[in-house]
């Protein structure tokens, strides 16, 4: 489970991604999304490892 600060950061990232899409910056949005998913994957892996 994410704490409030992490959840707030994820929401900020989603808004930034939407801003890129709405601005027609599809290449930048694609790169941003790939980075976002990589980061989230790492966070989930660490959380899973901490739970045992």
3-36 per-position pLDDT tens digit: 888 889 989 999 999 999 999 999 999 999 999 9
CB proximity list for 21: less than 8 A, separation 6 or greater: 29
| Biggest CA pair distance of the chain | 43
Confidence at residue 46, expressed as pLDDT on a 0 to 100 scale? 86
Confidence at residue 23, expressed as pLDDT on a 0 to 100 scale? 98
Confidence at residue 2, expressed as pLDDT on a 0 to 100 scale? 60
When pLDDT is averaged across residues 44-52 and rounded to a whole number, the result is: 85
Contact 17, 32 (CB under 8 A): yes
Query: Which domain does 35 fall in, by range?
Result: 4-51
What's the pTM value of the predicted model, to 2 decimals?
A: 0.75
Number of domains in the chain: 1
């Amino acid at each position: 489970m994410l704490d409030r600060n992490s959840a707030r950061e994820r929401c900020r990232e989603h808004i930034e991604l939407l801003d890129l899409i709405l601005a027609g910056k599809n290449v930048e949005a694609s790169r941003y999304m790939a980075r976002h998913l990589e980061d989230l994957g790492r966070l989930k892996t660490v959380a899973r490892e901490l739970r045992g």
